[in-house]
Chains A and B, each alone.
Chain A
Amino acid sequence: MINHLRKYRFLAGELTQQELAERVQVSRQTIIAIEKGAFNPSVRLALKLSRVVNVRLEDLFVLEKQDWEA
């Protein structure tokens, strides 16, 4: 799964990782891990992120071909 969190974070008023983390009530390390693709957020957190950066969920997180393979 690829995500465009970093891009949309900048488009949403150049939010810092710390500001975004505070808005969705997680640690900055969690935002870093999500942006690096090291951690996949839960649906709840993904929805919160998409709302804060004001973009549709499926534009923020995109499934890759291998995600469909078991």
Chain B
Amino acid sequence: MKNIRYLLAGAYLLALVGTIMLGFSRALPPPALIAAAVVLVAVPLIREFVHRSHVDERQLQISRFSTAMAFYAYLVVLLIVLIKDYLIQNKHPGDAMLALLVIPLAVKLFISLLQNHPPQKAARSITLFFAGVWLIFALLSHGLSWMTLVEMLPFLLLTGLALATDRWPRLCGVLLILLGLGFGFVFLPSQRSFYGGLMLFTVLALPMLLSGIALLVPGHRQEPAD
């Protein structure tokens, strides 16, 4: 059994390297390449959510620690690229580069919040965070004007939702999902680039969808009183 696991791990690595090489050499048609990439990325992700009976807790700890270190190594490399290419050569980072920087950080933040806190508290924190981001965005865009007051409406809506998550978690969950879908379907097609849209989806729509789903998960616990 142990040998089969090693064999499978080796086959996975081989498939990963092979797919990357075939992708760069354009030997695979795009649909096949995309399908292979999705499967190869999904396999280790599934492992994170499924109980791995053959892996004991120390091995799991090592696996997660090495993943965390790989994440920080990725960020360091990205920062080096940003500093070298954009600060020193004075170019403007493109949407793809910003997406590479922002999306992993946002995913890490949301997962930490949702795992560390009860759903109401996590949803409230995420919603308040975005309300604050929206307020800053409105103030920076229009300064102190009537337009700012109009653009503050989403801020007020989000703040109201954040404060109501304790009292009406399910209603707020549904509203957050609708807001997330709204951001996803209304704002994203208007983006000028695919990567810009992807980044906006991750930082605007995804957290609201996740918060809404967390509030709707059956049997969620009430936040204990302090």
The number of residue pairs between A and B whose CB atoms lie closer than 8 Å in the complex comes to 20
The residue on B at minimum CB distance from A32 is: B58
Chain B binder among A3-11, A12-20, A39-47, A58-66: A39-47
Can you add 14 more A-B contacts, CB < 8 Å, to A26-B56, A27-B58?
A: A26-B57, A26-B58, A27-B59, A29-B58, A30-B56, A30-B57, A30-B58, A30-B59, A33-B58, A39-B58, A39-B61, A41-B57, A45-B56, A45-B57
In Å, the complex CA distance between A33 and B56 comes to: 12
Min C-beta distance of A39 to chain B, whole Å: 5
Min C-beta distance of A70 to chain B, whole Å: 19
**Per-residue contact bits, chain B 31-60, to A (CB 8 Å; 1 contact, 0 not):** 000000000000000000000000011110
Min C-beta distance of A65 to chain B, whole Å: 25
A residues with CB within 8 A of B: 25-27, 29-30, 33, 39, 41-42, 45
Residues of A within 8 A of B61 (CB): 39
Residues of A within 8 A of B59 (CB): 27, 30
In Å, the complex CA distance between A41 and B60 comes to: 12
In Å, the complex CA distance between A51 and B56 comes to: 18
In Å, the complex CA distance between A25 and B59 comes to: 12
User: Is chain B's interface secondary structure helix, strand, loop, or mixed overall?
Assistant: helix
In Å, the complex CA distance between A42 and B56 comes to: 11
Residues of A within 8 A of B56 (CB): 25-27, 30, 45
The residue on A at minimum CB distance from B59 is: A27
Q: Can you list 20 A-B pairs, Cβ within 8 angstroms, ordered by A?
A: A25-B56, A26-B56, A26-B57, A26-B58, A27-B56, A27-B58, A27-B59, A29-B58, A30-B56, A30-B57, A30-B58, A30-B59, A33-B58, A39-B58, A39-B61, A41-B57, A41-B58, A42-B57, A45-B56, A45-B57
Min C-beta distance of A1 to chain B, whole Å: 15
The residue on B at minimum CB distance from A38 is: B58
Chain A CB within 10 A, most for which of B56, B58, B59, B61 = B58
Residues of B within 8 A of A45 (CB): 56-57
In Å, the complex CA distance between A40 and B58 comes to: 9
The residue on B at minimum CB distance from A24 is: B56
Min C-beta distance of B61 to chain A, whole Å: 8
The residue on A at minimum CB distance from B61 is: A39
The residue on A at minimum CB distance from B55 is: A27
The residue on B at minimum CB distance from A30 is: B58
Min C-beta distance of B6 to chain A, whole Å: 13
Min C-beta distance of B170 to chain A, whole Å: 34
**Per-residue contact bits, chain B 52-75, to A (CB 8 Å; 1 contact, 0 not):** 000011110100000000000000
